[in-house]
């Protein structure tokens, strides 16, 4: 057995309504399900010798608690905060607690949608923001996190 420290996983967070991927507005969000997204991020992470710990929740406090609990256990965060992007100062504040790189992902191009979607509380603390690339944006985000982790 090796004495080398285990590489910390990437935390994949998906906010409200993302459990409905593949069902909710497929013309906007595509046909991929959340399970498809998790599997593709795991495959991409494995290319770099990394693992993914995934959580989807419709409850803001549960997500904040998960972010707090991840401190010291993860190497980076890929997050699609869903509607909390535009409303949650509390989530933005929590995302700095683990002191790891964060990449924000949005499946649709939020800048081409309703004006309220143009503002993000998460973007100012993110190392990167990927918008409008469909679910492939999650794979891009994993690649960026891996690079920021030195992989």
Quickly count helices (H) and strands (E) in the chain: 5, 5
| Residue 100: per-residue pLDDT | 98
| Residue 25: per-residue pLDDT | 86
| Residue 3: per-residue pLDDT | 53
Is 118 tagged catalytic? no
| Residue 50: per-residue pLDDT | 98
Check 59, 68, 106, 118 and give the catalytic one: 106
Annotated binding site for substrate: 80, 86, 93, 107-108, 117
The CA distance from 149 to 147, in Å, is 5
| Residue 60: per-residue pLDDT | 98
Annotated binding site: 80, 86, 93, 107-108, 117
| Residue 11: per-residue pLDDT | 98
- Where the chain has pLDDT below 70, the residues are 1-5
| Residue 5: per-residue pLDDT | 62
Is 121 tagged catalytic? no
The predicted model scores a pTM of 0.93
């Amino acid at each position: 057995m090796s004495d080398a420290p285990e590489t910390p996983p990437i935390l994949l967070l998906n906010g409200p309504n993302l459990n409905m991927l593949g069902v909710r507005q497929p013309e906007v969000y595509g046909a991929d399900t959340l399970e498809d997204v998790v599997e593709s991020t795991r495959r991409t992470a494995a290319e770099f010798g990394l693992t993914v710990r995934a959580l989807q929740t419709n409850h803001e406090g549960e997500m904040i608690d998960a972010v707090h609990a991840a401190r010291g256990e993860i190497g980076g965060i890929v997050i699609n905060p869903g509607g909390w992007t535009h409303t949650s100062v509390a989530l933005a504040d929590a995302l700095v607690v683990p002191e790891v790189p964060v990449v924000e992902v949005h499946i649709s191009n939020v800048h081409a949608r309703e004006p309220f979607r143009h503002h993000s509380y998460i973007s100012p603390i993110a190392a990167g923001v990927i918008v409008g690339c469909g679910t492939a944006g999650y794979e891009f985000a994993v690649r960026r996190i891996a690079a920021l982790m030195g992989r």
